[in-house]
Amino acid sequence: MVGGNIRGVNLLNHSQSIKYFFDRAIAAIALIIFSPILLVTAIAIYFRMGSPVVFTQPRPGENGRIFKFYKFRTMTDERDAEGNLLSDEVRLTAFGQFLRKTSLDELPQLWNVFKSDMSFVGPRPLLVEYLDRYTPEQARRHEVKPGITGWAQVNGRRTLDGDWIKKFKLDIWYIDNWSLLLDLKILLLTVWQVIQKKDISQEGQATGEEFRGQVEQS
C-alpha cells in the first residue's frame, strides 16, 4: 500500500513537471505567434484610450505569493469634477467590451505564464485584499498556480458571478481532481466558449461582484 502511494506521488510529480514545461513552452510559442495581434491591439488601445495600454495589478499566486498581473486595458480613466474615477460601467468603452468578448484582453497573461507566475489552467487570480477573507478551505485555491482559465470559468463564469461559495468549491474540486487530461478538457471547453462568445462577464456589469467574505456552507 505504501509502495502504491509512493508511485502515485511520483506520477503526480511527473505530471506536474510536464505541466510546468508545457506551460512555459506553449506560452513562448504563443507570444511569438500572437505578437502581431498583441501589437495591433496595443496600438488600437493607445489611440482610443491613451496610455498605459496594459492594465497591471498585484494578485496573489501559488502559496499567496504576490505577482504583477497583466491584462489589456479596457476602461478609460475618466473622473468627475472632484477627481474621483467614474463607475466601471461608464469607463468601459465599446472597444473594451469587444476585447472582453473576444478574450483579447487576456493575451498579456501569456507573459505571466511564461514567467511561471500563472498557468494556462488553474483558479483565477483574485484581488490581494481578499486574502484575509477566505475560510481555510477557500484559501486552498492558492495551493496551485492561478490560471488564465479554470474549472469554474468553463462551468458558467457569467452565471457564477456573485456566487462565490460555488465558485470556490469548483476551484477546490479542480485541485483535488487535477490531471493533465482535466487541464486539456478545460482548455478545449474554454476555446469553445470563446468561439461562441458566451459567459464572458456578468450580464449588465463591467466588473464582477466584490467578495466580502462568506462563511463556508455545509
DSSP designation for 207: S
- Inside any domain, residue 53: yes
Specify the DSSP element, H or E, that contains 37: helix 35-49
d(CA 67, CA 57): 8
pLDDT (tens digit per residue) in 86-99:
877 888 889 999 99
User: Does residue 17 come out as left (phi exceeding 0), alpha (psi in the -120 to 50 range) or beta?
Assistant: alpha
- Inside any domain, residue 144: yes
Type of residue numbered 46: Y
Model-level pTM?
0.85
- Inside any domain, residue 143: yes
**Stretch 4-26: mean pLDDT:** 80
- Inside any domain, residue 35: yes
- Inside any domain, residue 27: yes
Q: How many structural domains does the chain have?
A: 1
* Residue 52 CB partners (closer than 8 Å, separation 6+): 73
- Inside any domain, residue 4: no
Paired with 59 in beta bridges are 67
Residue pair 100/201 in contact by the 8 Å Cβ criterion: yes
In this prediction, residue 86 carries a pLDDT of: 81
In this prediction, residue 213 carries a pLDDT of: 82
**Stretch 135-162: mean pLDDT:** 86
Show the domain range for 97.
13-196
**Stretch 175-183: mean pLDDT:** 95
- Inside any domain, residue 106: yes
Percentage of the chain modeled with pLDDT above 90: 60
d(CA 206, CA 101): 12
- Inside any domain, residue 217: no
